[in-house]
Structure 1
Amino acid sequence: MATTYRCLVVDDETDIRELVVLTLERMGIQAESAGNVTDAKHMLQSFSYDLCLTDMRLPDGLGLELVQHINLHFPGLPVAVITAYGSAENAVSALKAGAFDYITKPISLKQLRPLVESALKLSSQKESQGANTVDLIGGSPAMSNVRIMIAKLARSQAPVYISGESGSGKELAARLIHQNSSRRDQAFIAVNCGAIPENLMESEFFGYKKGAFTGAIQDTQGLFQAANGGTLFLDEVADLPLAMQVKLLRAIQEKKVRVVGGTTEETVDVRIISATHKNLNAMMEKGEFRQDLYYRLNVIQLKMPALRERVEDIPELTERLLTKLSLAQGITPPAISSEARIYIQQLQFPGNVRELENMLERALALCDGQTINIEDLSLDELPVLLERRTTVIEPAEATVLTSLPGIAIPSTSQTTFPASSMPASPMPSGEMLPKDLSLSDYLEDIEKRTILQALEKTNNNKTAAAKLLGISFRTLRYRLSKLGLSKEQDIDDVEGEE
């Protein structure tokens, strides 16, 4: 450790100050101390420091006041708080106020050293130009706010809770927080809490000793040990059973774990980032998620916006994802027709970026290799009765499409769309849907009848029926499966020339 680092230790207990100062000096750090808030503020004004360690309770105030003072007047200076054993609320308050990290009394040197080393790594990055968030695609205001938050969160050790819908990029955000933090050289371990059987959770998280249970033939480390010094990302944390929530809470608070079959606890230095698409507040009210664990995980919250909240990012996302998928397959990215671009831009995407990526991956498989058209997208919301022509839609007819889930049609006097997106037998103008029949059921019925008519005309030959409908063979086969028609019909499944 370079001797140029300088640390300020603030504590009114002489023995603790001396212990911390001695430990820091042995690490090659110049350490100075103060016994109260007032002296600490004077020293901060007079000298430049790379780290500040402060007790929470001081004779003339709280360490929390010093944390806020440093964040206001010395931004970029990491400050860690020393809290009494078991005072979880104080630690959470300090982290919310902007503390880098915390350590509990009696001070463990095994916990102090990694904390100091992480803080000094941040100090050496003080002049950096900000977080590297190039993997976050989009220049919308919502994504700009996410980038700012990631840069701030990367400079802290506080637990982070990432909320957002499925497919909105929660794991990507967690990785970027880790990659821009002082822990970036250590492991990032991601685990889906819902994918671990309940009877294996404790051994998966904390490890086990040889002979701890049947099949434990050797000592095995758990996820906490694997992530030691780095970051543990708990995806779908809402799926943790209550019994495991208790054990996780203790591991986070005390920064210690006990392996299954072990008799002693071992110190671990792990930053926790958690995420879920579920409503944890609602789960707490039902007693399905512990309130104390929620407040330990949700020290700082990062909300990932849904794709429909940043529609201006969809064109760039589409191009970038299509390029990525094409490169993975070793092919040249195809063009996207203007009609397909319009439809993509207007979809709601309940599955967010993941749904968009899946749609493009399917389109790559269905297209002719040159251009992605609307029929290649296989939109579930639209009929696939495709003729290669365009139809002028009058306003009265456009209202039918407007009601489709995920589609927004511009309000113009006449709107031109490919006839491929129109029902084969639209309802007469002014006539309402039959009672108890939804629009989606109505359109699905039209689609079924038209496909069955095409199959009847072609003696149940899929290839010929696809040509008659003006769609690809693969698209027809996909829609037959989606509509439940494959098993009902004795249909040729031989793909001929298209």
Structure 2
Amino acid sequence: MTAAKASVLIVDDEADIRELVEIALGRMNLATAAAGTLAEARALLARQHFDLCITDMRLPDGNGIELVGEIQSRHPQTPVAVITAYGNTEAAVESLKAGAFDFVSKPVDIEILRKLVDTALRLRVEVPGGGPALLGEHESIRQLRGLIERLARSQAPVHIAGESGTGKELVAKLIHQKGPRATGPFVPVNCGAIPSELMESEFFGHLKGSFTGAHRDKTGLFQAAENGTLFLDEVADLPAHMQVKLLRALQERAVRPVGAESETVVNVRVISATHKNLGDLVAGGHFRQDLYYRLNVIEVHAPPLRARVSDIPALAQFVLTKLARDLGLPRLPALDPAALAALQNYAFPGNVRELENILERAATLSDGEHITIADLQLRPHSAMPSTQSASALGEQMEEIEKQAIREALQKTRYNKTRAAELLGMSFRALRYRIKKLGIDNE
């Protein structure tokens, strides 16, 4: 039995645009219906189901935003794409905030249109389950899970704000995995970790011979994320020249590799994040306002761990279960009641990431059956770092631990059993820490 064709409603008062879109979609083996006004579109929607609606922003009897709202309310399973005037960023952002799946600018680029339609129609296919989960039953987390479900069905740019260690990348990954791009790549990049002079090549790629050291063609991050999601972590760290180039790539939906004469159209959803306040950076002249509006169409807040203390027992249990498996422990170490109470009274400047590090350290220091307050080695409140410095402190502590392990290995001539005794931990725990800290690769 042949599957029914997907159907698309095209709403535009210009006959030539309607015809252009119908021809393009017909070549994609899609069924189409066309309307020149809001009234005609409403009548068609009342008579039949559509898998996608593409509407112009300006119509003789209203505007496309009205239609977006009506379809969101009455036909929530039908994504809507809006056609906007070229360069009208405000209209594009307004349509996305109203609930539009995506937008395309006039004059309509057929290649961009086809990619948009292909992505939208993937919503008809059930997204595979499994994968990571956002744990917790606090109201803030329940609301965040609901928001992730809604955002997954859109292509609107999302900016995730939150302190270091709150799980911003996990939120981005869930938005990706629950949406129509789930079968495409999820490409995370830390914008603060790429040297300024290499950024253009890393983001957009380069051709062989385009600069000294370019011995072969290189695919950029945008091309690597084709049909998927590009996650720009710590986007506030982008230098001014890359902010300009990123804005153009987002506006044109195309990138120009270094050394290339023409642009390449890309079909990528961009999700950004930072622990800094982008609004403050814009006000201070450190981040472009036009890029801020393009990235921050919808803002999501990842709550700090101290704001959801009731989730700590379940999170701790999850982390310990994973650690027991990774460390190969014969049994799961139990948190003493006093140790759990101490965790719930701790401020966690490093949030969930810090909880994971604390429990990992405690599991290696414990007797294997119980984790006590002493095993946790919590810093006193007066010694707690600011949110901004928590990440740096964590790196500093890792370096101290690396140095201690290196010295123990050197003193015992790399006899790991003796080194573990010297450090006061089990052989299995030492082996795990050596691998975790990358010492075995040195």
One-letter identity of the residue aligned with 2:94: S
The residue that corresponds to 2:70 in the other structure is 69
| Map 1:38-437 → 2, pairs under 5 A | 38-125=39-126, 135-331=133-329, 332-381=331-380
For 2:9, what is the secondary structure of its paired residue?
A: strand
Contact 1:83/1:90 (<8 A) preserved: yes
User: For residue 9 of structure 1, what is the aligned residue in structure 2?
Assistant: 10
Cα distance in 1 for partners of 2:348, 2:133 equals 20
SS at match of 1:232: strand
Equivalent position SS for 1:32 = strand
Partner deviation per Cα, 1:130-176 (whole Å, 9 max, x = no partner): 98686111111111001000000000011000011100010000000
Of structures 1 and 2, the one scoring higher in RCO (CA 8 A, sep 6+) is 2
Shift in Å, 1:2 = 4.9
Question: How far is 1:310 from its partner?
Answer: 0.7
Aligned amino acid, residue 278 of structure 1: K
Give CA-to-partner distance per residue, 1:5-40, whole Å, 9 cap, x none. 111000111111111111112211110000111111
Cα distance, 1:90 vs. partner? 0.9
Distance 1:223 1:31 in 2: 35
Conserved in 1, the CA contact under 8 Å of 2:349 and 2:384? no
1:431-453 per-residue CA deviation (whole Å, 9 max, x = no partner) reads xxxxxxxxxxxxxxxxxxxxxxx
The letter of the residue matching 2:286 is E
Identity of aligned residues (%): 55
CA distance in 2, matches of 1:110, 1:271: 16
The structure that is helix-richer by fraction is 2
Is the alpha carbon distance of 1:250 and 1:2 closer, same or farther for their aligned partners in structure 2, counting shifts above 3 Å?
A: farther
Q: In structure 2, what residue type is equivalent to 1:26?
A: R
Instruction: Give the distance between the partners of 1:47 and 1:68, measured in 2 at CA.
Output: 18
Give, in whole Å, the separation in 2 of the partners of 1:224 and 1:281.
Answer: 25
Matched letter for residue 150 of structure 2: K
Q: Deviations over 1:177-200 (max 9, x none)?
A: 000110000100000000000000
2-structure distance, mates of 1:404, 1:196: 32
- Alignment partners' CA distance in 2, 1:149 and 1:234: 20
Q: Judging changes above 3 Å, is the alpha-carbon distance between structure 1 residues 41 and 133 closer, same or farther for their aligned structure 2 residues?
A: farther
Residue 46 of structure 1: how far off its partner (Å): 1.4
Tell me by how many angstroms 1:123 deviates: 3.3
Post-superposition Cα deviations, 1:260-297, rounded to whole Å, max 9, x if no partner, equal 11111110000000000001111111100011101100
Q: CA deviation at 1:229?
A: 0.6
Report the AA paired with residue 322 of structure 1: L
Report the equivalent of 1:413. none
1:372-395 deviation line (CA, Å, top 9, x unaligned): 11111111218xxxxxxxxxxxxx
Distance in 2 (CA, whole Å) between partners of 1:304 and 1:131 is 22
Tell me the distance in 2 between the aligned counterparts of 1:219 and 1:404.
50
State the partner residue of 1:396: none
Paired with 1:342 and 1:474, the residues of 2 have a C-alpha distance of 26
Deviations 1:101-142 (A, max 9, x none): 0111221221111211111121344xx8x9868611111111
Counterpart-to-counterpart distance in 1, 2:235 and 2:375: 36
Q: 1:448-486: per-residue Cα shift (whole Å, max 9, x none)?
A: xxxxxxxxxxxxxxxxxxxxxxxx9759xxxxxxxxxxx
Contact 2:335 2:371 in 1 (8 A): yes
8 Å Cα contact 1:78/1:123 also seen in 2: no
- The answer as to whether partners of 1:51 and 1:123 remain within 8 angstroms in 2 is no
- In the comparison of the two structures, how many residue pairs are matched? 387
Q: CA deviation at 1:50?
A: 0.7
Letter in 1 for 2:363: L
Q: Which amino acid aligns with 1:118?
A: T
Please give the per-residue CA displacement for 1:352-382, whole angstroms capped at 9, x wherever unaligned.
0000000001101111112111111111218
Return the index of the structure with the highest Cα Rg: 1
| Amino acid of the structure 1 residue aligned with 2:122 | K
TM-score by length of 2: 0.84
User: How far apart are residue 61 of structure 1 and its match?
Assistant: 1.5
In structure 2, relative to structure 1, the CA distance for the partners of 1:131 and 1:148 (3 Å cut) is: farther
- Structure 2 CA distance, aligned partners of 1:380 and 1:303? 27
Which range moved further: 115-124 or 226-235?
115-124
| Structure 1 residue matching 2:272: 3-state secondary structure | strand
Give, as a single letter, the amino acid of the residue that structure 1 aligns with 2:53: C
Alpha-carbon distance in structure 2 between the residues aligned to 1:365 and 1:131? 33
CA distance in 1, matches of 2:294, 2:100: 15
Secondary structure in structure 2 of the residue aligned to 1:52: strand
Matched AA of 1:24: L
Shift of 1:4: 2.7
- The more displaced of 360-369 and 188-197 is 360-369
Structure 1 residue runs without a partner (length 5+): 383-402, 407-471, 476-498
Structure 2 SS opposite 1:269: coil
User: Separation in 1 of the partners of 2:152 and 2:284?
Assistant: 33
State the distance in 2 between where 1:404 and 1:372 align.
22
In the alignment, the residues of structure 1 paired with residue 235 and residue 125 of structure 2 have an alpha-carbon distance, to the nearest angstrom, of: 34
Quick one: distance in 1 between partners of 2:58 and 2:324? Answer: 59
Tell me the SS of whatever aligns to 2:343.
Answer: helix
